[in-house]
Amino acid sequence: MTINQVLTTDYHTGGEPFRIVPEPPVAIEGATVAERRMLAIGSPEVDNLRKLLCFEPRGHADMYGGFITPPDNEGAHFGVLFWHKDGFSTACGHGSIALAVWAVQTGRVARDPSGITAVVIDVPSGRVTLRVHTAGEQITGVDFVNVPSYRLAERVTVATSCGDIAVDVAYGGAIYAHLDAASVGLAVTPEHYSDLIAIGREVKWALNDSKHARHPVDDRLSGIYGTILYNDLGIDENGNPHQRNVTVFADGQVDRSPCGSGTCSRVAVLAATGDLKPGQILVHDSIVGTRFHARIVAELAADGYPAVVAEVTGKAYRTGEHRFELNPADDLGTGFVLR
């Protein structure tokens, strides 16, 4: 693989990294972002670029990023192909929030003088809209309005090393299993980090090829992307549900943020159980103490299921710019992952 240089701009959203590649130095074929994802999975050139930017020594096992692509049509500002340690994902809410901030800060999307700038992005799971809130030159927050989210299965029994456990399965741009961490004797805290990863991986792989992990209309979106382990923290002073979660996605990666698309799937589950109603806010904390707020902005039917459109509000910050290189003589090549 010959790459002279790759320029990136890096952000974090709620503590979770996102590495943006505005001009990927390899061709990413396809007519739509969804098609590009499938072709990228089978492309050594695109996959090697992913590894170069994600693997050590340039990245790490929990790195995340995206290649900017053309949109599916003129209705969006641009497209993005999301990637992580294990491949290419169908959705990424924290990445979408970072992309919206990047788009406004770089002038790719002109800042609206009203103080609310819409950024529309095509992602593999569909089209998402973000609203960037500004006060003067300062970005004060970003609303992520996702594709419709819905619960696929309720109280599915999974055999694990902790015994039989019950999980809900829900779609929020990607499919997640939802597990009450207390039911396996865990709290969503850094002290339980390794055990949370272990049970999260168990649940994912136990369900990944099951009927519960099938997307009802697009098999490209099938499979359990991650396990959301949550603690119910009760009701806050404003009468809103308050939870803390950690999302263990791909093969053992840990989202440091409260997880954007995962929060949408959490909204879908809580809406289905009646624990989150229109007008309420889900206060959603991460394992490192960062926070998203989420709410239901619409109720509808999608793909044959009762569904909601969730809006997740968070913040993203630029952490730096990079000029990466690959020396042809480097015997480590695109790198390695040590975990």
Q: Which residues are catalytic?
A: 92
Residue 95 to residue 173: CA distance in whole angstroms: 13
Q: Which helix (H) or strand (E) holds 310?
A: strand 305-314
User: What are the backbone dihedrals phi and psi of residue 204, each rounded to the nearest 5 degrees, phi first?
Assistant: -55, -55
Q: Which helix (H) or strand (E) holds 94?
A: helix 93-105
Residue 22 to residue 197: CA distance in whole angstroms: 32
Q: Which DSSP category does 39 fall into?
A: H
Of residues 129, 153, 160, the one with CA closest to residue 143 = 129
Residue 262 to residue 200: CA distance in whole angstroms: 14
Q: What are the residues facing 244 on neighbouring strands?
A: 231, 285
Residue 268 to residue 148: CA distance in whole angstroms: 9
| Angle, in degrees to the nearest 10, between helices 33-41 and 44-54 | 90
How many other C-beta atoms lie within 10 A of the C-beta of residue 134? 17
Residue 308 to residue 329: CA distance in whole angstroms: 52
